[in-house]
Structure 1
Amino acid sequence: MQHFDEAATRAPLDFERLVPALRDAFTAEAQVPPRHVHSIETAGGGHDSESGNSSSKGTVLIMPAWSDAGFLGIKTINIFPGNSARGLPGLHATYVLYDARTGVPLAMMDGNEITARRTAAASALGASFLARKDARRLLVLGTGRIARMLPAAHASVRPIDEVWVWNHRTEGAEALAAQWRAEGWNARAATDLEAAVREHADIVSCATLATAPLVRGEWLAPGSHLDLIGSFTPAMREADVQCFAGARTYVDTNEALQKSGDLLDAMAAGTLHTQDVQGTLAELCRGERAGRASDEERTVFKAVGSALEDLTAATLVWKSAA
């Protein structure tokens, strides 16, 4: 079994290659069973003893998928939001690729790179159907691994030339904006989230682990596109219920209707009904559903992630090495 470290996993997954690969994958057929979700809580001491915490809470996801192309993949992803206080990433993942015809293990890959890059690529794929053609101003909420990739991802499908970043810790936003500027982006940190959404965003992309709404519907301008890719459980949410009122809403998969706190809250409040969801990413890619209909309408894309995206990225890594 081959091993692909972070650098080797990252190398083939540029967005100019990964976004079209995802579009092809959603157009084709694949088997994607529902993810397995487990809540984890460990008590007492351990690595938390110095911080005084008596327990650690997290979520474990197990995400399998396989396709007629002959590949089977299983990702295990651990999400521990409290890690930020320990100076650690909140997400750790591993990915194992198998031969789908024999079950023989082929490769172990860096699941963090696969998760971050496929999530940013799916965000851009959604925007390729739903953001205005002339969308050039991107506002990113969050400063984690996925958030850092969003300018490059969206620039592969839209003419992004102005990037803003907001974070609940201002110093984090300032640091990321400085990093982006060093990479050549016209990037600035936003200290006032409402003003940034109202004044500086054609696309608002949320990549956080928030459990309370950050973006409010009343702030969103006509013609804007709201991209919600951070939350993936009923307890997590990044947008208030008014974000969905009067907007054309799409999801990555129908699983989002059961997993997303954003959607569940909006449906409970009556600002979104199941029949109001305009389509999935697969339906958009196959041309079965239309995307944005006018420059004036608001659109929302809610993603909780799909094992098909992981399998697509892992297959790219494997084939590139071969």
Structure 2
Amino acid sequence: MDNILQIGDSFIEQNTIFSELIQELNQSFSNSNVIVPLRHHHDFPNPKVDSDSTLLLMPAWNPSKIAGVKIVTVSPENSQFDLPSIQGTYIYFDALKGSVKAIIEAKSLTVKRTAAASALASSYLSRKDSKSMLMIGTGALSINLIKAHVSVRPIENVYLWGRNINKAEAIAAELKNEKFNVYPIQSIEEKISEVDIVSCATLSKTPLVLGAYLKPGQHIDLVGAYRPTMREADDDTIKKTSVFIDTYQGGLKESGDIFIPLQSGVLKEKDIKADLFELCSNQKSGRKNNEEITLFKSVGHSLEDLTAATYYYNKFKNE
């Protein structure tokens, strides 16, 4: 037990280079020997805040090499305690011997790999000349999604909306020394029709991205709405876009953004263009032209966690 590495928030925050992490994910999705069972997803009552919380168990292993499992809780009402909604830990194993190699803080690992996966998708789906972005949501993912998207596209201006304008202003202040501009805005509608990329990471139960406001050539990145009863985009958005998902395994049933349109018949499974495995291995193509509106829905995948854990473990060992 003495040899188990402890990799915390501060190390992950200080040692993430999104271009590197995105490339690691690209390689993992394009040629992976990793076995990934369907994750365990358990909702449990939390009567003191009148809202369910969720326990997620996400295992993955590369036989005789490495393995890992992420144990995470999602508590949507944690803002009232001034705590992040996502908390947990990642246990990183030697898959040959079964010994624990490291315990990694899961919140930072999750937001980094989630943002990197969205940017990886964007590298296939957004226009290469994308210069503007609307970030919907001011949670832990927002800064990471902005930085990740900027690492793959020449984004100059970022517009940021959240239910609390003070949080948007604080994030803008935090990013004031970056090479791009960040502008807090009062409403989604004032910028959604103008930007090249729309990224949404919220716990909203009702759509925030409305198809009526979309324009040709945009890319929509949906990261929140992790339950079948939640959604960030309306049916009109689904009808107007070419839909891509991170994986068929979880993407078809874990989020209302895909599950609800599939159930109602607005979307057919055969109409989903590709997942990240197919995009990264060049089995299927991404954006076809500059007029197409593309949509990527992410629910997260244990392959991303294991890839990120390996990335941070190797950095920690080599520092």
Which TM bucket (shorter chain)? over 0.9
Structure 1: distance between partners of 2:190 and 2:10: 38
What is the aligned partner in structure 2 of residue 217 from structure 1? Answer: 211
- The 1:56–1:293 alpha-carbon spacing in structure 2 relative to 1, beyond 3 Å, is closer
Quick check: 1:162–1:187 contact (8 Å CA) kept in 2?
A: yes
State the secondary structure of the residue aligned to 1:295: coil
Q: How does 1:14-33 map to 2 (within 5 A)?
A: 14-29=17-32, 30-33=34-37
- The 1:270–1:90 alpha-carbon spacing in structure 2 relative to 1, beyond 3 Å, is same
Structure 2: distance between partners of 1:213 and 1:43: 26
Q: How does 1:32-51 map to 2 (within 5 A)?
A: 32-43=36-47
What is the aligned partner in structure 2 of residue 157 from structure 1? Answer: 152
Number of residue equivalences:
312
CA drift of 1:93 comes to: 1.9
Structure 1: distance between partners of 2:164 and 2:265: 33
Quick check: 1:13–1:313 contact (8 Å CA) kept in 2?
A: no
CA drift of 1:69 comes to: 7.2
Counterpart among 133, 153, 162 of residue 128 in structure 2: 133
CA drift of 1:269 comes to: 3.6
CA drift of 1:68 comes to: 4.5
* Residue-by-residue CA offset, 1:86-113 (whole Å, 9 max, x unaligned): 2211111211100011110010011011
Which amino acid in the other structure matches residue 25 of structure 2?
Answer: L
CA drift of 1:318 comes to: 1.2
Structure 1: distance between partners of 2:302 and 2:56: 11
What is the aligned partner in structure 1 of residue 80 from structure 2? Answer: 85
* Residue-by-residue CA offset, 1:189-226 (whole Å, 9 max, x unaligned): 12121121012x10000011111111101111100000
Structure 2: distance between partners of 1:13 and 1:65: 22
State the secondary structure of the residue aligned to 1:61: strand
What is the aligned partner in structure 2 of residue 47 from structure 1? Answer: none
Q: 4+ residue runs of structure 1 moved beyond 6 angstroms?
A: none
Structure 1: distance between partners of 2:103 and 2:13: 13
Counterpart among 245, 253, 256 of residue 251 in structure 1: 245
What is the aligned partner in structure 1 of residue 193 from structure 2? Answer: 198
Counterpart among 260, 271, 288 of residue 255 in structure 2: 260
CA drift of 1:180 comes to: 1.8
CA RMSD of aligned residues (A): 1.4
Structure 1: distance between partners of 2:255 and 2:46: 25
Unaligned runs of 5+ in 2: none
Quick check: 2:57–2:69 contact (8 Å CA) kept in 1?
A: yes
CA drift of 1:14 comes to: 1.4
* Residue-by-residue CA offset, 1:246-301 (whole Å, 9 max, x unaligned): 31110000021011101122223433111000010010000000000000010000
Deviates more, 1:33-42 or 1:74-83: 33-42
Instruction: Note if 1:102 corresponds to 2:102.
Output: no
* Residue-by-residue CA offset, 1:126-163 (whole Å, 9 max, x unaligned): 00000001011011011111111122101111111110
Quick check: 1:284–1:291 contact (8 Å CA) kept in 2?
A: yes
State the secondary structure of the residue aligned to 2:190: helix
State the secondary structure of the residue aligned to 1:198: coil
CA drift of 1:43 comes to: 4.2
What is the aligned partner in structure 2 of residue 280 from structure 1? Answer: 275
Deviates more, 1:67-76 or 1:155-164: 67-76
